[in-house]
Amino acid sequence: MQSKKPTSAQSLSFEHYSPHKLKRIISQEAFKSAHNVEFESLTERERQIFNLVVHNHTNAEIAQKLCISRKTVEQHRKNINRKLNAHTFPDIYNYALAFDVI
Any domain includes 27: yes
Encode pLDDT of 53-62 as tens digits. 999 999 999 9
Alpha carbon distance 59, 17 (integer Å):
38
- Give yes or no for a contact between 65 and 48, defined as CB atoms under 8 angstroms apart: no
Any domain includes 28: yes
Backbone angles phi, psi at 70, to 5 degrees: -65, -35
Asked if the model's pLDDT at residue 3 lies above 70, the reply is no
Any domain includes 70: yes
- Give yes or no for a contact between 84 and 76, defined as CB atoms under 8 angstroms apart: no
Total domain count, the chain: 1
Residue 64's CATH number? 3.40.50.2300
Any domain includes 56: yes
SS3 at position 29: helix
Any domain includes 14: no
Any domain includes 17: no
The answer, as to whether pTM is greater than 0.85, is: no
Encode pLDDT of 39-52 as tens digits. 999 999 999 999 99
Give the residue numbers spanning the domain of 68. Answer: 22-97
